[in-house]
Structure 1
Amino acid sequence: MMIIILGIICLGLAGALLLIIIDVRRVTKELIYINEHTTNGFVTANTNFPIIRDLIKASNLSLKVSRELQQDQAHQENQIRTMLTNLTHDIKTPLTVSMGYVQLMAKSATSVQKPRLKRIESNLEAVNYYLRYLMDFNLMREKSIVLKLKSVNISQLLENELFNYYDEFTKRSLKMTLNIKPNVVLQTDATLFTRICQNLIGNILKYGQKQAQVTLAPVDDTHIKIEFANLGDHLPEDPAQLLNRFYTADQSRTNQSVGLGFSIVQSLVTTLGGRLHLTSEDGWFRVTVTLKSLQT
């Protein structure tokens, strides 16, 4: 009789243990699903064992706290993006006006005033230089969330950007050679592509000597390659180092080098699903950008 009772007890315990194991496995599957998908669901159980109730309660509390933290983080990031956008625009407007006034004053300045105005203009340009990188950083944060994809005439956009800098090329005695295949169209984000071009054209203006080249050609039906090249002095032996955001070729920072330039460009290119490659050979520094058409 005792053996039968013990057998029944063991059978009951085995059944309870089996139900607990089944419920634990189901809770595990639900947690895996919740972690891999966007959902507001919580885990549930089929049994009412105290140990399972405690497990469900602890798991759901953890999920609730995690979601609240994610919501708070998203809210804070949105506030930071808004603050950066407002800050850069609030600085950009008076900065542009100030630079315009300095250039206007320089036209009628005396020989004594001109060096002082030149220093003021140089400092304003430095502020503008850093401000552009702040704007690019904020732009990357926004575009990492959503890209505005459309068919863009890359050839026309690139030519327009180069034309906008024509006076600067002339002022620096830079002979620009263009090899741009007409009407190359790419599905991409026009704003990000424009900032890539502006940064790389700005690099040519900043470091280029005598000659520069810009080449655009399709690689295949879905890829294009753009090369920005210029003659220059003191070219880096290892150009790949320039992609390190903490690296600066100009240790004195007298030329506004903060080590962010190519790191920012690389991030912009990567956001568009492309690649950035730097080389220096025979006095030429070359930046090659490969981009692909993105699907909406």
Structure 2
Amino acid sequence: MIINDPTNQKLKLHSRNVLIEQLARKINILLDKHSKNEQQLFKLKNEQDVAIHNIAHDLRTPLTVASGYTQVLLENSNLQSDDQQSLERIEQNLSNVSEHLDLLLMYNRLSENEVSLNWQKINVTNMLQETILGMYDLFTNKTIELKLNIQSNCWWVADHEALLRIFQNILGNILQHGIISASVSLTCDDENLWIKFENKISQPINSPDKLTNRFYTEDLARQSENAGLGLYITEKLTNIMHGQVLIQTENNNFKVELQFTKRAYN
């Protein structure tokens, strides 16, 4: 049917009733306008996707250069304390911008359905531990006590880049919004893989059901640095790998659980 299926076909009626013929012509005019609008929207979306991709890559080079110069200056042992702190703040801000660009590029790839998975058997235990270790100093600096309960030798068939991005997004979310303490647990059996992240937050979340919406953010830490893409991308990548994301919040506790089942992709 014309209503349910996209088509360029016109309404064809054979009737001697003049009113019905006029109605058919008007319906066809509306169908033409609708078709043209859809073509324009498709063209605009493609142009927008290309623009996002080009702008992000254009910004990547000067960011990399600026970060390189900053790191060289930080290695100078003759720096005054104030200069050292200023450079460290500059480096942190450059890192934040770079992270937002990564999120924007991943969002663009997801929007264009250009995320192709490289399925491989991964030691999820090692990957999770290495990701946490790489961010451990950040948790220490934020005075967030991190408790781990990670089962050894959990292997799973997944995409390495996608799974790493998921871990980085969730841990980054804890760093940005978490306070006092956080915990990470990993358990598995022959058919299932469960990864749970839990942390304290400074204030209750108003709309937990919206947290995986793109560009939605709650200003839990009274900051404006969150682009509102981290959990959206996390859910999309998890779904692509045939898993699901469960988010629970109660008072000042925030939980994110990833669930994967082998039956989902066999």
TM range, smaller chain:
0.7 to 0.9
Give distance in 2, aligned partners of 1:34 and 1:227.
47
Distance across 1 between alignment mates of 2:25 and 2:160? 49
Say which of 53, 56, 63 aligns to 1:88: 56
Structure 2 unaligned residues grouped into runs of 5+: 141-145
Q: Normalized against structure 2, the TM-score is what?
A: 0.73
Taking the TM superposition and a 5 Å limit, the aligned residue runs for 1:31-46 are 33-46=1-14
Structure 1 CA distance for aligned equivalents of residues 219 and 179 of structure 2: 17
Give the Cα separation in 2 of the matches to 1:236 and 1:242: 16
1: CA distance, partners of 2:175 / 2:223: 20
Residues 53/171 of structure 1: CA separation in 2 closer, same or farther (3 Å cut): closer
* Residues 268 and 98 of structure 1, relative CA distance in 2, 3 Å threshold: same
Q: How does 1:267-282 map to 2 (within 5 A)?
A: 268-269=237-238, 274-279=244-249
CA distance in 2, matches of 1:102, 1:175: 33
Look up the match of 2:143.
Answer: none
**Letter paired with 2:61:** T
Instruction: Say yes or no: does 1:286 pair with 2:258.
Output: no
Alignment of 1:87-166 (within 5 A): 87-109=55-77, 110-112=79-81, 113-143=83-113, 148=116, 151-153=119-121, 155-156=122-123, 159-160=126-127, 162-163=129-130, 166=133
User: Which one of the candidate residues 16, 24, 31 is aligned to 1:63?
Assistant: 31
Q: Secondary structure at the match of 1:41?
A: coil
**TM-score for both structures, normalised by structure 1:** 0.67
The count of corresponding residues between Structure 1 and Structure 2 is: 252
Q: Deviations over 1:163-199 (max 9, x none)?
A: 256333256456755326533225xx76554432220
The answer (yes or no) to whether the contact 1:184–1:217 under 8 Å persists in 2 is: no
Higher helix share: 1
- Could you tell me how far apart the structure 2 residues matched to 1:65 and 1:200 are? 44
1:217 matched residue in structure 2:
188
Residues 178-236 of structure 1 deviation map (CA, whole Å, 9 limit, x = unaligned): 326533225xx765544322201323455476764241436x85x64322345x5x444
SS of residue paired to 1:125: helix
Q: Give, as a single letter, the amino acid of the residue that structure 2 aligns with 1:250.
A: A
When residues 212 and 98 of structure 1 are mapped into structure 2, their CA distance, relative to the original with a 3 A threshold, is farther
1:226 paired residue among 190, 195, 198:
195
CA distance in 2, matches of 1:158, 1:136: 24
Partner AA of 2:256 in structure 1: V
1:67-82 aligned at under 5 Å gives the runs: 67-82=35-50
Distance 1:93 1:217, change over 3 A: farther
Change beyond 3 A, Cα 1:150–1:51: farther
Q: Secondary structure at the match of 1:274?
A: strand
Give the distance between the partners of 1:194 and 1:215, measured in 2 at CA.
15
1:168 corresponds to: 135
Correspondent of 2:218 among 247, 256, 260 = 247
Decide which moves more: 195-204 or 258-267.
Answer: 258-267
**Percentage of identical aligned residues:** 23
Q: Offset at 1:41?
A: 1.8
Q: 1:52 maps to what in 2?
A: 20
Q: Which amino acid aligns with 2:35?
A: R
Q: Are the structure 2 counterparts of residues 183 and 122 from structure 1 closer, same or farther at C-alpha, using a change threshold of 3 Å? A: closer
CA gap 1:104/1:65 in 2 versus in 1, 3 angstroms: same
Q: 3-state DSSP class of the match of 2:2? A: helix
